[in-house]
Amino acid sequence: MPMRINRVLGIETSCDETSFAVVDAGRRVVRQVLASSLEFHSRYGGIIPEIAARRHIEVLSPLLVDLFERDGIAVETIDLVAVTNRPGLAPSLLVGLACAKAFSLGLGLDIVGIDHTLAHLYAPFLDNPDPPRMPFVGLVISGGHTLLFVVRDWHPEAMELVGKTKDDAVGEALDKAARLLGLGYPGGPVIEKKALQGSPRFEFPVYRGGDYDFSFSGVKTALLYFLKDKELSEGFVCDVCASFQKAVMEPLVDKTIRLARETGIRDVVVGGGVSANRYLRERFQEAEEGLGLRIHFPPMRYCLDNAAMVAGLGYQWYVRGIKDDLHLSISSRRF
Ligand code: KG4
Ligand code: ZN
């Protein structure tokens, strides 16, 4: 049986963010450091795995110095290393995993490998005196994932996948739409900004089947044809952004709320990069008021990929008996 522990070092390098965090008792973030290589990828219209991995290696040492030396956190006080080992870009995951193994070996610490899509659901539990209650309905929405869960406990087997995208992730759809509109990468934040000045006057068809699955590739293709031979004036682009944002966000809100109603679950957690979107937050808040649900979003600093959520979930899994050893490898396993 694993020992009682307190302080966890979290490591996250699955995509373009390099992040380390020290979290106590799974809840209190003592310190988090983070660097992103996003600006190096923007000109390519997407993340380039080799560039991301190289940047992880370059910023790793300065970030660790910042984490441990600037705030005087003694490395000997760490009880466990939690590292994202799935899913993500293989070269990027490997950097974080090698780093985690160095800590584990050097300090004689146990190690636990974390699925970072599940860690996104942990983000609203950090630094929160009034956290969500179990069971909860969990929606993970990011550049790579659109997943709907019922979570009954912090154990991989108690996190039941109920629905997912059949094709593109919602963040991917926003990123591709922004590219078609010549708005650069990443698409989510710029579409959100343009949409504020536009009106949702166009109808884009989106999958609304009676199940809990999603599909966003059709709406992206519809946009491609819609834009053919159109002049991309500023006002038109803003209206398209407002319409496209509305089209892709509606099924996310509708299906999540329907799952909560059908299961009688009152708490809903929304995590992942797209959960930063204010339009989506407002739509969920409207539903919350009407139906007596409790809808939880992570604070903005824990919306994108970060190590604090990895450390927090690592703590919870470990105290429930889940741990790995130095044979831990990266995995392409995804929901
Ligand atoms: O969770 P994340 O940092 O990385 C992945 O695991 O993918 O999410 C990145 C995604 C990108 O697709 C980006 O366009 C989207 O999150 N995103 C947003 C917003 N901020 C980031 N989408 C909509 N509105 C935003 N404000
Ligand atoms: Zn993520």
Ligand nearest to the CA of 177: 1
Range 114-123 average pLDDT: 96
Mean pLDDT, residues 268-289 taken together: 95
Helix (H) or strand (E) holding 141: strand 136-141
Q: Is the pLDDT of residue 215 over 60?
A: yes
| pLDDT beyond 90 at 14 | yes
State which fold the 133-298 domain adopts.
Answer: Nucleotidyltransferase; domain 5 (3.30.420)
What's the pLDDT score for residue 47?
83
Instruction: State residue 72's pLDDT score.
Output: 86
* Spacing, Cα 38 to ligand 1 middle (Å): 11
Q: Given a cut of 70, is residue 1 above it in pLDDT?
A: no
Ligand 1 pocket test, pick from 147, 174, 334 with the greatest ligand atom count within 8 Å of Cβ, gives 174
Task: Name the residue with the closest Cα to ligand 1, atom 8.
Answer: 273
Q: Which atom of ligand 1 is nearest to the CA of 276?
A: 26
The pLDDT of residue 246 = 98
In which band, very low, low, confident or very high, does the pLDDT at 88 lie, cut at 50, 70 and 90?
Answer: very high
Rounded to whole angstroms, what are the CA distances from 320 to 87, 154, 258? 22, 8, 31
- The minimum-distance atom of ligand 1 relative to the CA of 88 is 6
Which numbered ligand comes closest to the C-alpha of 145?
1
- Per mean pLDDT, which range of 65-74, 128-137, 230-239 is the poorest? 65-74
CATH number assigned to the domain with residue range 7-122+302-319, chosen from the 4 options 1.10.10.60, 3.30.420.40, 1.10.8.870, 3.30.530.80? 3.30.420.40
pLDDT, tens digit (0-9, with 9 covering 90-100), for 22-68 = 999 999 999 999 999 888 877 777 788 988 999 999 999 999 999 99
Question: Matching CATH topology for 7-122+302-319 and 133-298?
Answer: yes
Can you tell me which atom of ligand 1 is nearest the CA of 187? 14
Ligand 2 centre from 144 Cα, in Å?
7
pLDDT top residue among 133 and 47: 133
Residues 6+ apart with CB under 8 A from 212: 148, 162, 163, 255, 258, 259
Q: Show Cβ contacts of residue 32 under 8 Å, excluding neighbours closer than 6 positions.
A: 19, 20, 21, 22, 301, 306, 307, 308
Cα–Cα distance for residue pair 293/45, rounded to 1 Å: 38
Residue ranges of the domains in the chain?
7-122+302-319, 133-298
Residues at CB less than 6 angstroms from ligand 1: 15, 142-144, 171, 174-175, 186-189, 192, 272-274, 276-277, 304-305
pLDDT score of 2: 53
Is the pLDDT at 327 greater than 80? The verdict is: yes
pLDDT (0 to 100) of residue 4: 86
Amino acid (1-letter code) at residue 164: K
For residue 290, name the pLDDT band (cuts at 50, 70, 90).
confident
Task: Please list the residues that pair with 84 across neighbouring strands.
Answer: 114
172-207 pLDDT, tens per residue?
A: 999 999 999 999 989 999 999 999 999 999 999 999
pLDDT digits (tens, 9 = 90+) for 224-241: 999 999 999 999 999 999
Shortest-distance Cα residue to atom 13 of ligand 1: 188
Residues 6+ apart with CB under 8 A from 77: 7
